[in-house]
Amino acid sequence: MLTLTVPQKTIFHKISAGQKLLALCVISTALFQIKSLIVLACLTCAVVALYLSQGFSFAKFGARMLWPLWPFVLIIGIYHGITNDIGVGCEIILRMLITVAFANMVTMTTSLNDMIDVLLRLLRPLNWIGISTKPLALTIALFIRFIPSLIERGITMHAALRARSRGKSGWRIVVPLTLSVLNDADHVANALRARGGVWTNDEG
């Protein structure tokens, strides 16, 4: 499957996931308080420099992750161009791009496993009040395991549909796909139960 993390190792890989997330929270909150366009422009340069410091391909990857925001940049640009307060427009655009760029940097340099570890660690207090997080870890694993299978099944069903019908309405595969998913769930649940069930590790 495609991933959002960069293949090369950067200095940000060395910082722990928890610290990066904490830093991101602080930076994002702070950024929403900044109203000065000059400060935001300086920060933009800093972010660009930070990306480039890890190599050109890292910066290119970062730029590609920001790309889906272009319609909003365009709309805000036009809106404030018409209302003649382009300064405010630039401020909104820059603030949005910087906060997203910082968040993307964390995503690009933190493996999914580390993220899930942080998540499970944050939820650990639930264990103290009697809610086990063990089934959650299993659910996450099952979810990740099922994604490629379901995508593949969807593609197969779509190809079969196109082979026998001239219509393009892809939604017709939703019924058989959902039914197959419901049946899968029964099989996997039975298999889990046969192997001792979800709760074994806590109770045994």
CB 117 within 8 A of CB 67: no
Token digits of residue 150: 């379901």
Residue identified by tokens 């940049």 is 73
By C-beta, is 43 or 173 nearer to another protein? 173
CB 24 within 8 A of CB 12: no
Instruction: Please tell me what DSSP assigns to residue 11.
Output: G
Give the span between the Cα atoms of 89 and 91, in whole angstroms. Answer: 5
By C-beta, is 3 or 8 nearer to another protein? 3
- Least distance to another protein from the beta carbon of 151, Å? 5
- Least distance to another protein from the beta carbon of 11, Å? 19
- Least distance to another protein from the beta carbon of 144, Å? 7
By C-beta, is 45 or 194 nearer to another protein? 194
CB 91 within 8 A of CB 37: yes
- Least distance to another protein from the beta carbon of 194, Å? 10
Give the span between the Cα atoms of 154 and 172, in whole angstroms. Answer: 11
By C-beta, is 25 or 41 nearer to another protein? 25
